[in-house]
Structure 1
Amino acid sequence: MSAHEERWERFLDPDVVRPSLFMATMFITTFEILKNSIVDRIRDFYSIGWSEEGSTVSPKYEANVLARNKSTVYASLNWLLEHQAINDEDLKTFELLKKTRNLLAHQLFAVVTGQAESNHTDQFHVLVELLRKIEVWWVVNVEIPTNPDYADAEVDEEGIVPGAILSLQMLLEVAGGNTELLEAWRRERAKRHPHAP
């Protein structure tokens, strides 16, 4: 079979295209979650109130974060680096993941059909680990120390499952065809609203 015929074979086989497309879109989605975590957590940290437009941010956010780089993402990464939430290796990893995300976003058809090479499936766990590392840092260094309920509590970082990771796990389960979460939600809703349709 020629390379051209192999590409058509791959393109027309749902058992090949479906998982490839799924992993590519999950990688892009998770990368966006990572970027949001990088930016939004810091912005929320500098939030000083709420208005009709959303949260109001302290002028310190501009001075302490945004002044570091024209890109909000890179300014935020620099802030995280300074506060030891991430290290230089993590910055290199982010660049690698960004390159993969851009390949997928701009050449999705070529990647899914095997015309362009991508190792996004192998990199997916690296992407999730970087997201988890940043989220756990916030829990351990900001949320727990500012919550009096956890004063003097022993913290097992390995046991922490941040909300972003839990949401991602749920999304993977649902997108993978698992209906258990939907059924549990429906049972709980029926308990709370017995006469609802």
Structure 2
Amino acid sequence: MEIDDLPYEKLKRLLKEDHAEISLNLRIAALFLVVYENLKELITDRVRDFFTNEWRSIDGELVGIPGKEYASLLNGKGVFRACRDFHLEMGAISPDDNQLIDRFIKYRGEVAHELYAILLDDKKAALDLQLLFQAHLLAKKIDRWWILNFEVPLNEDLVDQSIDEEKVASGRQLFLDQLMRVALKDIFELVEEEADGS
């Protein structure tokens, strides 16, 4: 049987050493995992830190101990759900953002558990790059909200300063921006070429 006789287009391209598509999909899949972990940690860690009022050295590492308010916030809920609800109540995220988080978490689970099929099964749709970007932008929005509402007001040097809110980001979010630019460089270049050609 020749490669061209195979019924699966994705497999044919792989066997013919056309690795561009599979390489891109592997990079996108990896970014889904990274963006998910970043969003999850951002949502939970920011709230936990907000309610932390005591620090202890445990095994040589400084660890924050949240106060009673944090335990009250959890009140039988899972940590992630309780922290999402806190963000919603505080206005850091909107109901639409909350729905986006649900969609992103569900889809990220599919990517993690069905990656083999996504890579090789012609019936499986391409990875949802738009959803990846939306989740990444949401993480940046949450990060910016915490900086503008809590970090800037507590910094005397910044209180009366004019701040371009769109440019506010933590080092972690800037690193993730760069990681996405590097991982998806070929996609961004293609989009720029198409924009220049139109």
1:123 alignment counterpart: 131
Which residues in structure 2 correspond to 1:24-173 (within 5 Å)? Answer: 24-53=29-58, 54-63=63-72, 65-67=73-75, 70-115=77-122, 116-173=124-181
**Residue 106 of structure 1 aligns to which amino acid in structure 2?**
H
Q: Hey, what's the Cα distance between the residues in 2 that align with 1:35 and 1:122?
A: 19
Conserved in 2, the CA contact under 8 Å of 1:38 and 1:77? yes
Which sits farther off after the overlay, 97-106 or 165-174?
A: 165-174
Q: Hey, what's the Cα distance between the residues in 1 that align with 2:105 and 2:117?
A: 18
Segments of 5+ residues of structure 2 without an aligned counterpart are: 186-198
* Aligned-pair CA distance for 1:174: 5.2
Query: TM-score normalised to the size of structure 2?
Result: 0.80
Confirm or deny that 1:9 pairs with 2:12. Answer: yes
2:192 alignment counterpart: none
* Aligned-pair CA distance for 1:149: 1.0
User: SS state of the match for residue 107, structure 1?
Assistant: helix
Which sits farther off after the overlay, 79-88 or 104-113?
A: 104-113
* Aligned-pair CA distance for 1:141: 0.3
Q: Hey, what's the Cα distance between the residues in 2 that align with 1:2 and 1:165?
A: 47
**Residue 7 of structure 1 aligns to which amino acid in structure 2?**
K
Confirm or deny that 1:19 pairs with 2:27. Answer: no
Q: Hey, what's the Cα distance between the residues in 1 that align with 2:41 and 2:164?
A: 25
**Residue 55 of structure 2 aligns to which amino acid in structure 1?**
W
* Aligned-pair CA distance for 1:153: 1.9
Query: TM-score normalised to the size of structure 1?
Result: 0.80
Conserved in 2, the CA contact under 8 Å of 1:27 and 1:120? no
Segments of 5+ residues of structure 1 without an aligned counterpart are: 178-197
User: SS state of the match for residue 54, structure 2?
Assistant: strand
Q: Hey, what's the Cα distance between the residues in 1 that align with 2:95 and 2:180?
A: 29
Which sits farther off after the overlay, 113-122 or 142-151?
A: 113-122
RMSD of the alignment, in Å?
2.1
Note the alpha carbon deviations across 1:147-183, whole angstroms, 9 max, x for none: 1111222222112132232120233355568xxxxxx
